[in-house]
Structure 1
């Protein structure tokens, strides 16, 4: 009787090798498809903080359309995703392995930066100020070019950062010059946590008076051409343009349109 054990083992070994090779090819093909899509068409991000509560919760994973905003004008009040104009060390540390890997593939000019999700408040040429919100003594509505945008009429904001102190961006960039500031420890912490000084020194000084203050102490922010201003919905717990200023339009990624996780919150973004 012929002994087929050896040939059976060889057949099984060849089958295992074939299946392994097929899996490797499938993974490589998936990566070759996913990476270009991720970089140029459809981004995915996980939100690590509560700056957009209740609209977006910590741990939500979003799909972001990177294409449409190039052809359809963004509207004030739109939720947007963008690269920070500075390196944010603490946010980088929050990224999971997949998001860290994709972050490493980002364009050179934002390498080491992270994705933020906020609401668009103003674009180049706009003037922004906070006005008292009727019935809400401690909160404010945002006024853009002399009126409250329809999409922002129900949004309330805290008067902090640049709206409270016209020198705030300079203080954040150079806290050593403002040791007497009541925010000194906050300024020092965030200055060390992000590469803000280099960004500030490279662009802010060329703009001149991007912030003005009237005789009553009301502050107006003037958004420079080619930049935008963004704030979070969770106004008392959002690190946004009130604190660190303007973002280059070249850092815009797109608009989130679908929440894919957690499953009990799966659905189209509004």
Structure 2
């Protein structure tokens, strides 16, 4: 029996709606994409790469030390937000409510809850020690001594500066005083992360992250200095991430711990640019 034009239109609409529902389910629970805005993981991942992320593996198990992980920033990165393309901004509608308006970072997992981290100079290169030894998966990665590993109170300075950011006079005075007491490099580093409000917002409102995730954590219990060596212990419910391209990576050395619920998944495929289409990382099995 031949269908009427009205029936054909209705069948087309239903098919379209089913496709949207199916795509949304896949997007929410199975796969997702991200555009990489920075060079923090060069040469493994480059600026402008678009990655295909699968979300099933880390629902079944925790990521392992050395694996590359995609996660929501637990704070708003106003600079990175401005770098997103229309497609990424549209897909933000499907993000979890607590991370809506946040951006995705891709870094390597270097510390899990209970782990104690420190950087040591070995043959002219800074190597990461986890619980007293270099993990097998990180032996070929070198880091830059910076952030919390260089300034044990670094996260405190970020928090204090962030709370003053909307008051330009007090904010400038804080940075000036910090520069006099601790050096201009530290003050410039704090300003580079916290940013300012003129002419439009840019930077990280760090205190919002502290109030939401770290309000019950005494940082001095997790960061300490002994014999000139800074140690960082990962609190329960958090991870510590660092980028391979250490000198260009805004990572946990600078912003701190990442809550487990911020993890999205593992990048398995580079889908753009086409000439570099292919897998990003193998699965790591430490068992």
Q: TM-score, normalised by structure 1?
A: 0.86
Deviation at residue 21 of structure 1 after TM alignment: 7.8
- CA offsets, 1:212-244, max 9 Å, x none? 1013x2100011000000011111100000000
Deviation at residue 185 of structure 1 after TM alignment: 3.3
Deviation larger for 28-37 or 68-77: 28-37
CA contact (8 A) 1:171 1:178 kept: no
Please give the secondary structure, in 2, of the residue aligned with 1:64.
strand
Q: 1:220 aligns with which of 217, 223, 231?
A: 231
Matched length: 252
Q: 1:198 aligns with which of 208, 222, 227?
A: 208
Which residue pairs with 1:268 in the alignment? 279
Match status 1:247 vs 2:258: yes
Match status 1:146 vs 2:158: no
Deviation larger for 225-234 or 64-73: 64-73
Gaps of 5+ in 1: 1-13
Q: Aligned partners of 2:267 and 2:66: how far apart in 1?
A: 13
Q: 1:257 aligns with which of 251, 263, 268?
A: 268
What is the correspondence of 1:26-41 to structure 2 with a 5 Å cutoff? 27-41=16-30
Q: Aligned partners of 1:24 and 1:262: how far apart in 2?
A: 34
Gaps of 5+ in 2: 162-170, 196-202, 282-287
- CA offsets, 1:50-97, max 9 Å, x none? 111000011111111111112233210000000001011111111111
Which residue pairs with 1:236 in the alignment? 247
Deviation larger for 68-77 or 243-252: 68-77
Q: Which of these two proteins has the greater Rg computed from alpha carbons?
A: 1
Q: TM-score, normalised by structure 2?
A: 0.81
Which residue pairs with 2:198 in the alignment? none
Which residue pairs with 2:104 in the alignment? 115
Which residue pairs with 1:6 in the alignment? none
Deviation at residue 205 of structure 1 after TM alignment: 5.1
Deviation at residue 203 of structure 1 after TM alignment: 3.8
Q: Aligned Cα RMSD in Å?
A: 2.2
Q: 1:184 aligns with which of 161, 184, 187?
A: 187
